[in-house]
Structures are given as structure tokens and as C-alpha cells.
Amino acid sequence: MIIPDRIKIGDTIGVVAPSSPIVGEKIDELKQAIKFVEEKGFKVKLGKHIFSNTNGYSATAQEKAEDINEMFKDNEIKMIWCSNGGENSNVVFDKLDYEMIKKHPKIICGYSDITSITNMISEKTGLVTFSATNFKTIATDQTDYSYNQAIKRFLKGDKNLGDETEEYITIQDGIAKGKLIGGNLSLTKGMVAGKYKLDFTDKILFIEELGFETGPELASNYLYYMKQNGVFDKIKGLWIGNYEHESGVSLEKIVIDTLENKYNFPIIKSNNFGHIEKKIAIPIGIEAKIDTSKKIKIELLEECVKNSI
């Protein structure tokens, strides 16, 4: 496991767009996010291809991967913040320089489609990565909650997964320890098998999904695919995040329907990560513990950022 260094005020944050292109109103939103972060005391450096839309639907795989690789190599950059989600960030998998990333570890974060990149980098290198708010989202959020959660983690090294106001619900009782893995359900499902598969053995899996795009039937499809490929035979615990669909069907109900009472690991639910205003910063690859007897039912057992030498 490789733990990245903390950032500090005055550091330069690198911003990349490895998913959907930044076009139209997204350009103004990115500029607003840059202004906000610079006012907080950080510097911002944009990836060379951040505004590229070469394919007409996104930058090319080479352009996206080049920006990520360059940000890791650039010693001026202390953290990499992915700008926004989308559909196809997995195109970079075979173009990332994983050996170089191991030699230049630093914080990289994002959520939604960025789940693919953060989980794969962690899988291939052992670097602790993060599911946290996207950079551009800073400009579109109604509050500073998600930004503040990221800064508490990355700058101060805070280990809390939310605060005392968070509501954690027990779906299935139990206590479990394991390294955190996961994020967006559809993206995690896509890394269950094949060349770029994740190792779910003894992990605590956290999942969320965007109900606007993924109805209950499709969420069921994803979960059954994971079940049929042995994911739930391997994990130690399950943490369910936000999912809202017009039908009113909850993700926890779909999970329960899928698991059919055949697994005895603890299952908890919270509304502090996912496609929602409140997004905490969850480290991928760090040991955590679920204890359903506690109010805050999950805790980090290890530091996920360290003081630089």
C-alpha cells in the first residue's frame, strides 16, 4: 500500500478531464471552480487536453491518459483532481503508466465515472486513491460540504467518515474489517471480470448509483452479475450510498432481493456519498471497520494521507 502525501495551502492542484468533455456551460463551471479553489489559497494547473473533444464525444484515450500521466510525473503537482464524470474514463486503462505512478504517488480523486480510474490505479499500483467530489462540481454544489470534506481529508488528514449528524442505517448486523473498494455501481460491475478486473477478496465494498440513469431493473442486473461472478462470496462487508429513483425503490431493497439472505456480512446504508449534494471523501485501499452497533457504523483504521518529508 502506498499512502499519498497531504496537500497544504499554496500547493498546486492538477485538474484533468478523463471522462466527458468540458464544453458549453461546463467551461464556465470549471472556471468558477478554479476561482473558488484559488481563493482558498491553492494554485491550479490544467491538463494540456482538458478542453479537448477530438472524438466529438470526448478527448481521445491517448489525450486523457497523457494528461493523467503528466500530472503524476510533474513534481509541481501535489494532487490530481478529476474535473467531471461521464461514461468512458475506462479508455485510459491500457495507456496509464502504472510503474511511473508508483514512483510519483499523489492524491487523485473524483466520483461517478472517475470510479473506474481511481479503483484501477489502486488495484495496479497499491496507491490509496479517493472517491470524493469532482473538481467542477465545486461550482455547481449548493453548499461547500463536499469541498470541505475533501479538504479535511487531504489537507488535515481527518479520518472521520462524516460527522455526528450523519445517519447510518443497519441493513444487516455484524462487525467486519477490510480494505475499501468500489464507488459507482455500474462502473464497479464493469471491473468484476476481464483483463482489468478488481480483487474483491476480503474487501469492504461501497456502492452508489444514479437513479436518473439506472432504474431498479438495471441496478438488479448489475448486482446479479456481481453475485453470479462471486463478488459477494469474497467481500467482508457492504456499504450502500445514495440512490434515488422515481419508483421509490431503494438500492438497499434491490441488494436484499439479490442477496436472498445467503450472506452473513454486515450491510450498512448512508446518504453521504454518490450523486448527491453531500459527498464525503472515501479512501480506496485503506483498512476500515464496520460495526453496526455504533452510531457512525464505519471507521477508518489507517491514515490515508501522510505528512510530506
pTM of the model: 0.96
Enumerate residues 6+ apart whose C-beta is below 8 A from 65.
18, 91, 92, 95, 96
Mean pLDDT of 39-51: 98
In this model, does residue 164 exceed pLDDT 90? no
Rounded Cα–Cα distance for residues 124 and 79 (Å): 19
pLDDT above 70: percentage of residues in the chain: 100
What residues form DSSP beta bridges with 60? none
pLDDT at position 38 is 98
Cell digits of residue 141: 454544489
Using an 8 Å Cβ cutoff, are 54 and 48 in contact? Answer: no
Any residues with CB less than 8 A from the CB of 296 and at least 6 apart, and which? Answer: 160, 161, 162, 164, 166, 168
pLDDT tens profile 98-126: 999 999 999 999 999 999 999 999 999 99
Pair 149, 280: CB distance under 8 Å: yes
Is 215:280 a contact under the CB 8 Å cutoff? no
- In order of their start, the domains of the chain are 12-154 (3.40.50.10740), 169-300 (3.50.30.60)
Cell reading at 83:
474535473
Distances (CA, A) of 259 to 215, 224, 269, 291: 18, 9, 15, 20
Model pLDDT, residue 40: 97
Residue 65 has pLDDT above 70, yes or no: yes
pLDDT tens per residue across span 220-243:
999 999 999 999 999 999 999 999
Q: What is the mean pLDDT of the chain?
A: 96
Residue type, 137: T
3-state helix, strand, coil in the chain (%, to 5): 30, 20, 45
CA–CA dist 230, 234 (Å, integer): 7
Q: Which three cell numbers stand for residue 252?
A: 438497499
Nearest CA to 43 out of 80, 83, 14 is that of: 14
Region of residue 248 (left: phi > 0; alpha: psi -120 to 50; beta: else): left
Cα–Cα–Cα angle for 80, 308, 147, nearest 5°?
Answer: 40
Residues 227/261, Cβ–Cβ less than 8 Å: no
Q: Is the dihedral of CA 235, 238, 243, 248 positive or negative?
A: positive
Average pLDDT over residues 171-185: 98
Higher per-residue confidence, 309 vs 257: 257
**C-alpha to C-alpha distance for 247 and 70, rounded to whole angstroms:** 44
- DSSP state, 54? T
Beta bridge partners of 306: 5
Average pLDDT of the residues in 154-169: 89
Mean pLDDT of 248-253: 97
Residues in Cβ contact with 138 at an 8 Å cutoff, skipping those fewer than 6 apart: 32, 33, 36, 37, 146, 147
